[in-house]
Structure 1
Amino acid sequence: MSDLAATQDVDSRLEQYRRELTGYCYRMLGSAFEAEDAVQDTMVRAWRNFEKFEGRSSLRSWLYRIATNVCLDMLNAGNRRARPMDLTAATPVAQAQLTSRPEITWLEPVPDGRVLPSAADPAETAVERETIRLAFVAALQHLPPKQRAVLILREVLAWKASEVAELLATSVASVNSALQRARATLAESEPASTDSADPLDDEQRKLLDRYVAAFEGYDMEALTALLHEDATLSMPPYDLWLRGHDDIVGWMLGVGKVCRGSRLVPTVANGTPAFAHYHPAEDGDGFTPWALQVIEIADGRIAGINSFLDTERWFPLFDLPPRLAKDGAQRGGPA
């Protein structure tokens, strides 16, 4: 085999694991961009050291060992990613104001297509999708890095304790102990359950259609009917978050009224429905990016609206258009 063919063969063998490794690193790091950086670093290290790979473990296991070490090194910086609800209590709408917290390392959304395997067993796919939910990834951030790795490898990826012990160069007893402690910590901050959305059923599609109609028409009565009694609204990078449809609607009719006349374009993020939120352009010519809304559904109602406002980051990541025309049609290619 020529050097070029050998290089292409190595590249091909490594690349087949990129998506699942990105999902693993995203759960570890809570950041789509850091996850992609970690996987790229993993690939570079693997490529440079491929001749030293002796095949005593599978190529997949070897890559996960490298990726785990990369993530642990990145987590040694000590920044724990968080959501607004991890930092403060909900704010009554009468006291609500937008305060940016640049010192906070915020939990980030991720496109499903970058982290979920395209072909897998339906049961495995359900677990994969459930464990990239924002609430679950936020709960993982409460775990020390090695416990986080153990829990993801054992509970999400279904590795054997012996396999995890080999990967982390430790004992099976240590792995089992770390898993027990991780489970106990998660139980103290157990993420709220949401309805399965893989795929959306007819009722969920109707719910989302009604949500789009209510939001775009700025019909607060219709929106209230769709919101769970304890629904939440958050807007990173601001630390403000609201709970309950009364406060959410109060915000929308107050400071949030600048969103009147907006348009929503469907997408998917973190295993759940999402929308690209476009705001009326200041020049009156169409609509410009405003936020990425990640929607959580529970008991047939909207339970969470996670509105990520840093559109310069999120819209290109999700391959969303940089502008909509007046009729709502996409203008231009991806942002």
Structure 2
Amino acid sequence: MSDLATKEDLESELERYRRELTGYCYRMLGSSFEAEDAVQDTMVRAWRSFEKFEGRSSLRSWLYRIATNVCLDMLNAGNRRARPMDLSGPTPVAEARLSARPEATWLEPVPDGRVLPSVADPAETAVERETIRLAFVAALQHLPPKQRAVLILREVLAWKASEVAELLGTSVASVNSALQRARATLAQSPPTVSDAADPLDEEQRELLERYVAAFEGYDMEALTAVLHDDATLSMPPYDLWLQGHENIVGWMLGVGSVCRGSRLVPTIANGMPAFAHYHAAEDGKGHTPWALMVMEIRGGKIAAINSFLDTARWFPMFGLPDRLEEEGAAEGA
């Protein structure tokens, strides 16, 4: 086999693991862009040091070891990504002010296709989807980096304690202790619960259709009817978040009234239903990007609307059009 063929074979073999490694790094880092950077760094390190790989572990285990070290290095800076509700309490609409924080503050959404395996056991797929939910990934960010790695490897990816110990260069006892501490921390601040929604069932589809009709028609009575009493609305990069019908409707009829005449295009993010939110264009022709809305459903109503406003980052990543033309464009998007 020629050197070129060998390199092509190695590159192909490494690429087989890109998606699952991206899912792992996303859970570790809370950032879709940083996860992709971490995986690319992992691939480069693996390529450069492949001659040192002696086959004492599987290629997959070796790649996870490299990826873990890359993530731990990135987390040494002490950054912990969060959602607005992780940083403060809700704000009454009468006191609401828009205050932006730097991009590195925020937990980021991710397209399912970047992080979930395309073919897997349905039960495993359900676990993986559940563990990329925004609330779950936000909860992971409360863990010290090594505990985070242990919990993901043991409870999400179902590695044996001995395999994790080998990866981290530590003992099985240390791994078990780290897992116990990680579980205790999550138990103190458990992630909020939302219903599985991929695929959507008939009730969920009907609920989201009602939400779209209410939002696009700017019908606040209909909107209230699909929201939980304690529903939340957040809008990163702003640290403001609102809770409850009165505050959300008050926002929509006040500062948020710029959303009248919007269009919503369905997509999926973090294993949850989502919408590309387009505002009416200033030139009066079509609609332009405004937000990526990631929805959370609980008990037959909408529990949370997570609106990510940096559309220059999100819409290309999700393959969303940068403009909707006249009526009918959304159906073809």
Where does residue 318 of structure 2 map in the other structure? 318
Q: Is the 8 A contact 2:111 2:318 kept in 1?
A: yes
SS at match of 1:265: strand
Q: Is the 8 A contact 1:325 1:331 kept in 2?
A: no
Deviations 1:49-77 (CA, angstroms, capped at 9, x unpaired): 11211111111000000000000000001
Q: 1:163 to 1:79 in 2, by over 3 A?
A: same
Q: Is the 8 A contact 1:139 1:191 kept in 2?
A: yes
Q: Is the 8 A contact 1:28 1:145 kept in 2?
A: yes
Tell me, in whole angstroms, the C-alpha distance in 2 between the residues paired with 1:102 and 1:14. 34
Q: Which runs of 5+ in 1 are unaligned?
A: none
Where does residue 138 of structure 2 map in the other structure? 138
Q: Is the 8 A contact 1:93 1:248 kept in 2?
A: yes
Amino acid corresponding to residue 183 of structure 1 in structure 2: R
Amino acid corresponding to residue 87 of structure 2 in structure 1: L
Q: Which runs of 5+ in 2 are unaligned?
A: none
Where does residue 89 of structure 2 map in the other structure? 89
Tell me, in whole angstroms, the C-alpha distance in 2 between the residues paired with 1:146 and 1:80. 14
Amino acid corresponding to residue 171 of structure 1 in structure 2: S
Q: Is the 8 A contact 1:322 1:332 kept in 2?
A: no
Tell me, in whole angstroms, the C-alpha distance in 2 between the residues paired with 1:87 and 1:328. 40
**Residue 165 (structure 2) pairs with residue 165 (structure 1):** yes
Q: 1:111 to 1:103 in 2, by over 3 A?
A: closer
Q: Is the 8 A contact 2:198 2:273 kept in 1?
A: no
How far residue 331 of structure 1 moved from its aligned partner, in angstroms, is 11
How far residue 103 of structure 1 moved from its aligned partner, in angstroms, is 7.5
Amino acid corresponding to residue 9 of structure 1 in structure 2: D
Q: Is the 8 A contact 1:323 1:332 kept in 2?
A: no
Where does residue 208 of structure 2 map in the other structure? 208
Where does residue 108 of structure 1 map in the other structure? 108
Question: What is the root-mean-square deviation of aligned Cα atoms in Å?
Answer: 1.3
Where does residue 6 of structure 1 map in the other structure? 6
Deviations 1:110-146 (CA, angstroms, capped at 9, x unpaired): 0000000000000000000000000000000000000
Moved over 6 A (4+): none
Where does residue 38 of structure 1 map in the other structure? 38
| TM-score, normalising length: structure 2 | 0.98
How many residue pairs are counted as aligned between the two chains?
333
Where does residue 129 of structure 2 map in the other structure? 129
Deviations 1:251-274 (CA, angstroms, capped at 9, x unpaired): 101110000000000110001000
Q: How does 1:184-223 map to 2 (within 5 A)?
A: 184-223=184-223
How far residue 326 of structure 1 moved from its aligned partner, in angstroms, is 2.0
Q: 1:103 to 1:253 in 2, by over 3 A?
A: same
**Residue 262 (structure 2) pairs with residue 262 (structure 1):** yes
SS at match of 2:239: coil
Tell me, in whole angstroms, the C-alpha distance in 1 between the residues paired with 2:222 and 2:208. 12
Deviations 1:263-301 (CA, angstroms, capped at 9, x unpaired): 000110001000000000111111000000000000010
Tell me, in whole angstroms, the C-alpha distance in 2 between the residues paired with 1:291 and 1:137. 21
Q: Is the 8 A contact 1:83 1:138 kept in 2?
A: yes
Tell me, in whole angstroms, the C-alpha distance in 2 between the residues paired with 1:82 and 1:216. 29
Tell me, in whole angstroms, the C-alpha distance in 2 between the residues paired with 1:258 and 1:113. 32
Amino acid corresponding to residue 145 of structure 2 in structure 1: P
Amino acid corresponding to residue 263 of structure 2 in structure 1: R
Tell me, in whole angstroms, the C-alpha distance in 2 between the residues paired with 1:14 and 1:41. 12
Tell me, in whole angstroms, the C-alpha distance in 1 between the residues paired with 2:108 and 2:89. 20
Q: 1:104 to 1:53 in 2, by over 3 A?
A: closer
**Residue 24 (structure 2) pairs with residue 24 (structure 1):** yes
Deviations 1:61-108 (CA, angstroms, capped at 9, x unpaired): 000000000000000011110110011100011111111122761110
**Residue 229 (structure 2) pairs with residue 243 (structure 1):** no
Tell me, in whole angstroms, the C-alpha distance in 2 between the residues paired with 1:218 and 1:332. 23
Where does residue 80 of structure 1 map in the other structure? 80
How far residue 198 of structure 1 moved from its aligned partner, in angstroms, is 2.4
**Residue 63 (structure 2) pairs with residue 60 (structure 1):** no
Q: How does 1:215-234 map to 2 (within 5 A)?
A: 215-234=215-234
Amino acid corresponding to residue 36 of structure 2 in structure 1: E
Tell me, in whole angstroms, the C-alpha distance in 2 between the residues paired with 1:13 and 1:104. 32
**Residue 131 (structure 2) pairs with residue 119 (structure 1):** no
Aligned-pair identity (%): 83
**Residue 148 (structure 2) pairs with residue 148 (structure 1):** yes
Tell me, in whole angstroms, the C-alpha distance in 2 between the residues paired with 1:257 and 1:244. 17
SS at match of 2:105: coil
Deviations 1:162-215 (CA, angstroms, capped at 9, x unpaired): 000000000000000000000011111101111111211011111111111111
SS at match of 2:268: strand
Q: Is the 8 A contact 1:293 1:305 kept in 2?
A: yes
